[in-house]
Amino acid sequence: MKIFPLITLCVITSAHKITQLKVPLYADPRRAAELSCHFEMEDQKLHSVKWYRDTQEIFRYNPSQNPPIRLYNASGIIVQSGDCQTDSCLVRVMPPPLATRAAYTCEVSTEGPKFQIARQTKHMTVVAMPEKDPVIIGARKLVRPGEQLHLNCTSDYSLPPSDINWYIDNELQKPGVWQRTELSAPELGGLRASWRILRIVVPPTASGALHVRCEAILLVEPPVIRDVTAIVTIHSRTQLSKYVSNAGSAAGVCIFLWITLILNDFINTLMSGSL
């Protein structure tokens, strides 16, 4: 009585299928990315394997045609090569130098008359991570209250370009109209460096040190953050007077020691003379 569901199950498991789709989550715009599609035909005969980028076909393998492999450059990407084995097809694409996310689909179809299709999709995002921490220019080690600091923080090259945030003692410094993040010209692969200026006037009553942090943030999922901190010491008057009074007491100790030594000498001479 329960024979029908069993038969249905057998039909499903005997269908051809994609066993593995390898699409890197991130692709570097300076290098070709390798995508591979692994499949199992079971008892079916392969008609074709196709790769799509979003809706555009970029690759077709049709073993009964000559040449069996055809490549199609689609909207900015260059399909460098394609290669197939009996159970897999590999394609190498040079992604566009833009921070884009695209869907890559592999489609495996069986011979007629059924032309059954197995399909799988994965997304790839074009990203070039920064390799170095940002750099702060103009952070003097020592400043006086009331003095101005003109700081420039530059990020490493990346795609998309980094956004720059400044913090003073962990407090975010909102950018003024003229202090937005600026971008360099693009390098190979569309990578750009970015920088942002921060002007600080050291408060007249300030003392201690300012912890100035620059954060370069790459808005990918999850965000990639690199940062650098500069410590600026404030040369305040209170510190200066402390230093002077310390020096005074040190001199006092020296004079006291000198007098003691002279007296000692004098007493020694007296005693040796009396002997």
Ligand X SMILES: *[C@@H]1O[C@H](CO)[C@@H](O)[C@H](O)[C@H]1NC(C)=O
Binding site for ligand X (CB under 6 A): 71-73, 78, 137, 152, 154, 195, 197
Contact 193, 161 (CB under 8 A): yes
Amino acid (one-letter) located at 223: P
Q: What angle do CA 67, 70, 76 make, to 5 degrees?
A: 155
Q: Can you list the alpha helix ranges (DSSP code H) found in the chain? A: 3-14, 237-274
Shortest Å, Cβ 254 to ligand X: 49
d(CA 220, CA 134): 18
| 8-state DSSP, 251 | H
Shortest Å, Cβ 182 to ligand X: 7
Sheet with strand 17-22: strands edge to edge: 17-22, 33-40, 88-94, 78-84
Contact 248, 187 (CB under 8 A): no
Contact 128, 31 (CB under 8 A): no
d(CA 42, CA 114): 15
117-126 and 26-27: which strand pairing?
A: parallel
Q: Is 115 left (phi over 0), alpha (psi -120 to 50) or beta?
A: left
Shortest Å, Cβ 153 to ligand X: 8
Nearer to ligand X, 37 or 79 (CB): 79
